[in-house]
Amino acid sequence: MELINFIDITPTTAILLILVGFIGGMVSGFIGSGGAFVLTPAMMALGAPGIVAVASNICHKFPKALVGAVKRNKYGQVDVKLGLVLGLFAEAGVLFGKHVMTHIKHTYGAIGTDLYVSAIFIVTLAIVGSFMFKDYRKLKALDDAGQGEDITPITKLARWVQSVKIPGTMIYFKGAQSELSVLFLIPIGFATGFLASAIAVGGFIGVPAMIYILGMPAIMATATELVIAFVMGLGGTIFYGLEGVVDIRLAMLILLGSLFGVQLGAIGTTYVKDYQVKFTMAVIMLTVLFSRFFYIPVYLSKMGMMEPLPNSALQSLKWIGDGVLALALILGAYTVLHALFKGMREHKKQHTPHTDTVGVAE
């Protein structure tokens, strides 16, 4: 079995991790996904094996998610009961996924976990990112037509799920404004936990499932996901910690930046519409997706699964992947801050008295 070596932390590396954590925190507070879909690739780009990046992100997740959940709960955006129920089922998914990850590490070594994490990123980001972008365009068209975000339609699937009444399994959740059967929550929670154990973020499943299957508004779904992330992060840290793959240094440096960023992102949600949250998710997901493509040949070459590539080609692919990832981080910061400041300006205009009207009255 290959031993896992943690990366060296230089002053430059520490600053980069804090900065990445800050951006990831903003994204987390804004869209409720934990921000790990930019943090995990960033840690891998700095040299951390896939299993260490995932485990360390899970470790840093639960205190950050707790801060974000408390902040957004003040705005009435969190369904705590639903978050705890889904979080409980998610723990089972985390435990199962951890066994899959450690089996890959024992069989193929650290590079095997790099390939595993990257492959799941590509598939998941392609599906969820494309779906989110399609839905963003649909909702924006409704808003541009003057129909507004308040009439965002509940899907037929969500209406059916809310209509199913199974005795002994029904619980009322304020987020969905309906009673839901626990039997529908079990697979959602398990799948969310499994994905979290593989790439350190379950929001790719949890958030869309709450919106399109349970019928929750996007703002409330993203906020409730922070509760699920807290529960998963606490359990996942214990599970992966027992395997000796949690790098507490990485976790703490990212957390240092995240705790500031998550509050800024959470404040931003009070000024934006549902479709703007989905646009932010789509843009960052699809950009990270392209960055992961360039690492796949590197991993396959090192594992002997394809013809060995010259060192110059391997280095070039890594540089391109790192560059696209940096672009994803910049886009993430820009979209959150742009939405925040634009919303604040519009809010200020709506609450500022018109001087012309006052002058006429006088």
**Who wins on pLDDT, 351 or 69?**
69
208-212 average pLDDT score:
88
28-39 average pLDDT score:
68
71-95 average pLDDT score:
91
Q: Count each helix (H run) and each strand (E run) in the chain, helices first.
A: 14, 2
Model confidence at 341: pLDDT above 70: yes
Contacts of residue 66, Cβ cutoff 8 Å, sequence gap at least 6: 226, 230
pLDDT confidence tier of residue 272, bands split at 50, 70 and 90: low
**Who wins on pLDDT, 99 or 347?**
99
Coil vs helix vs strand at 215:
coil
CA dist 16 and 92 (Å) reads: 33
pLDDT tens by residue, 117-130: 999 989 988 888 88
pLDDT tens by residue, 299-317: 998 888 888 888 888 889 9
Most confident of 54-58, 72-76, 148-152, 188-192: 188-192
pLDDT tens by residue, 92-142: 999 999 999 999 999 988 899 999 999 998 998 888 888 878 878 887 777
Model confidence at 356: pLDDT above 60: no
pLDDT at residue 116, as a whole number: 94
Most confident of 14-23, 154-163, 184-193: 184-193
Model confidence at 208: pLDDT above 50: yes
> Where would I find the beta strands (DSSP E) of 88-219?
170-173, 178-181
pLDDT at residue 141, as a whole number: 79
Model confidence at 288: pLDDT above 80: yes
pLDDT at residue 360, as a whole number: 47
**Who wins on pLDDT, 271 or 87?**
87
CA dist 332 and 326 (Å) reads: 10
Domain limits for position 226: 11-361
Model confidence at 149: pLDDT above 60: no
pLDDT at residue 119, as a whole number: 92
**Who wins on pLDDT, 142 or 169?**
169
- Indicate the average pLDDT of the chain: 83
Model confidence at 362: pLDDT above 60: no
pLDDT at residue 86, as a whole number: 95
pLDDT at residue 155, as a whole number: 85
Which residue(s) pair with 171 in the sheet? 180
Reported pTM: 0.80
pLDDT at residue 100, as a whole number: 94
266-294 average pLDDT score:
77
Model confidence at 357: pLDDT above 60: no
Q: Is residue 48 a part of any domain in this protein?
A: yes
CA dist 104 and 262 (Å) reads: 33
Number of domains, the chain: 1
**Which two three-digit tokens encode residue 90?**
């998610």
Tally of CA atoms within 13 A in the half-sphere of 99 that contains its CB: 5
pLDDT tens by residue, 180-203: 999 999 999 999 999 989 988 887
One-character DSSP codes across 256-297: HHHHHHHHHHHHHGGGS-HHHHHHHHHHHHHHHHHHHHTTHH
